Amino acid sequence: MLRGKFIVALICVFGLTCSVFATTKESMKVSSEDVVDKSNKCITCHLKEDKSIVTQWENSTHSVEQVSCYTCHAAKSDDPIGYEHEGAFIKTIISPNDCAFCHSKIVQETTASKHASAASVMYSNDGTLASMVASPHGDKKEFASCTECHGSVIAFEKDKEGKFVHNKAGAPITDFSTWPNSGAGRVNPDGSVGSCNSCHSGHNFSASRARQPENCAKCHSGDDHPQAGAYDSSKHAIAYASSPKGEGNSGMNIYKKGEWTLAADYNEAPTCATCHMGSYRKSTGGVVKATHNVGDRIAWSLKDEVSKKRTRVVFTDKTMTDINDGDKIPEVEEEYEYVNFVKDGDKMKKIATLKEVAKIITPEKRQEAMKGVCASCHSSSRVDNFYKQFDASVNTYNEKYAKPALALLEELKKDGLYKDKGFEDGELAYLWFGIWHKAGKAARNGAAMQSPRYEYWEGFHEVSRIFYSQFLPKVQEVANAGKQGAKYKKLINAIKAKK
């Protein structure tokens, strides 16, 4: 047991001296002995009040490396959410900025990823649609049913003068509609985005837990996020479920600490983390390092109304953005408009900044990166043929259903028969939402993960059923009511005749 037994030097998880207090938190000037003393006090009290978090920490890599309570929870003297507690100035909410003291590269990758920008979806059309049916808090932008995955802008209760209200322990009281949550794109009080705790549950912060597919299923499941279901019914998931999780030639070695490399530490099956983030050994013997940017190996957008391949633009400051196929791609060293959402008080503000382009990563390069993972277990011809199948499935969804449906809606809008105001447009809007946001996502994700159930029964079968038996008849009904039935009958017949 490490309870109360600390060494003076605080060593970070990757073996780097954690000089947080000597450099980044210069205003505190605390010695390592103070850190040890304060952490011991934390443990003594919390063993009585919430023993589980102490036990979780004791069984963590942080504990082994002597990274303790005060190491992470210490606050700068001018931190607005900091408060005096039992002789220590601390904060409760930990952000990626705190983790970056030791895990800077990982935090940089995560911050540039779609995970970290998940909260911005709350301010998009998707978020508007969701707020109309899911918000338990009236017209607030943050609502629990969505922020648990996407993340909220963490806000605090304030008095009439706009100052924080504090509880008996001295901590500022959070607005219940924005906290607690462990959303991947949480916008923290210090302005950082993301929550490491979203995948690495505290206070153990286990890497092995994060690499298991059940961890991803917290968010990537359900009608419009069908990835977990598609994976669960795939050959890969069946192989994973039937494989031992421990060490050995046929084991997944899932509980290994530190780097977890395909074709070195395990060979049986991939999990979500394997394909989208994991380290793998190439046939040449070299090792491709893991990444915390989950979009690095993804060429298609599978969440949009019409799927498009995406080119990644990396700027000189390491930020990045994705550009849809068909839009203008900038040149290296050219300035390009980077659009982002940033914290503005208790809300998010959309801003645009001109940045210099450092690198262009084509969809083909991104797909090749994913193919590298596949090649650890499969022949090149099998991998190539799979991607041809996958691309063909996405194109079928695009060309046969999504683009014709959107063209009809656009024509209805021009004729004043459709306002494009989401669910306010009634049944037609719901039918279109069901085609692309539910069944269409199932079809495309099922194709990506080789899940026949999701690609066909949950996907294309439902897309086709809604499109032909409900959506097209409803378009005709709306057109008839608007005295333009003949025009739309001709348009619909042309769609039906197309092979």
pLDDT above 60 (res 450): yes
The whole-number pLDDT of residue 143 equals 56
Q: What is the pLDDT of residues 226-249, one digit of tens each?
A: 999 999 999 999 999 999 999 987
CA distance 281 to 427: 51
Lowest mean pLDDT among 118-122, 132-136, 265-269, 321-325: 132-136
Rounded percentage of the chain residues whose pLDDT exceeds 70:
88
- Each domain of the chain, given as residue ranges in start order, spans 1-91, 94-205, 207-294, 310-368, 392-497
Q: What percent of the chain has pLDDT over 90?
A: 73
Query: What is the rounded average pLDDT of the residues 448-459?
Result: 97
Task: Please list, in sequence order, all residues whose beta carbon lies within 8 angstroms of the beta carbon of residue 88, skipping any fewer than 6 positions away.
Answer: 38, 41, 42, 70, 74
| pLDDT value at residue 265 | 95
- Average the pLDDT over each of 61-75, 321-335, 419-433 and give the range with the smallest value: 419-433
- Give the whole-angstrom CA distance, residue 463 versus residue 447: 14
More confident: 127 or 432 = 432
Confidence band for 422, pLDDT divided at 50, 70 and 90: low
Residue at token pair 């980077």: 338
Question: Between 403-414 and 472-481, two packed helices, what is the crossing angle to 10 degrees?
Answer: 10
| pLDDT given at position 27 | 36
- Beta-carbon-side half-sphere exposure of residue 144 (alpha carbons within 13 Å): 8
Across the range 479-495, mean pLDDT stands at 97
Q: What whole-number distance in Å separates Cα of residue 396 and Cα of residue 269?
A: 29
What is the helix (H) or strand (E) element at residue 239, kind and residue range? Answer: helix 235-242
Report yes or no: 116 and 147 within 8 Å, Cβ to Cβ: no
Reported as a single tens digit per residue, the pLDDT across 34-61 is 788 889 899 999 999 889 999 999 999 9
Average pLDDT of the chain is: 88
Helix (H) or strand (E) holding 477: helix 472-481
pTM for the predicted model, two decimal places: 0.87
Query: What string of DSSP letters covers 155-176?
Result: -B-B-TTSPBPB-TTSPBPBPT
